[in-house]
Amino acid sequence: MHAQHSQPATPAAQLLTPDQAAAYMGLAVATLQRQRTEGTGPRFIKLGKRRVAYREADLLAWLEGRVADSTADARVRGLAA
C-alpha cells in the first residue's frame, strides 16, 4: 500500500535550489541550512545524500505561518528570534 501524499509530484523545473529559495525569501543560505537541521524552516525535498530542493508552495506556506499581528503576538507564538 502506498502512502497518500498531500501534494502532487513536482517537476524538477519547478524546484528551487537552496540558493534560489534563500534569495526568494530574503534569507542567507546558511540560515536555511540551519533551519533544516533544527526542523524550524520550510519543508524541503531530500533529493540525494547532499542535495535538497524547495517547492515554492512550501516556502509560501512557511512564510504565511510566520505572519504576526504584533511583536507580542510573534513572541507568544515563538516567532521572535
Q: Which grid coordinates belong to 29?
A: 543560505
Q: 14-69, which class in CATH?
A: mainly alpha
pLDDT band at residue 78, thresholds of 50, 70 and 90? Answer: confident
pLDDT in tens, 32-68: 999 999 999 999 999 999 999 999 999 999 999 989 8
* pLDDT at 13 exceeding the cut of 80: no
Neighbours of 55 (CB within 10 A): 18
pLDDT score, position 1: 47
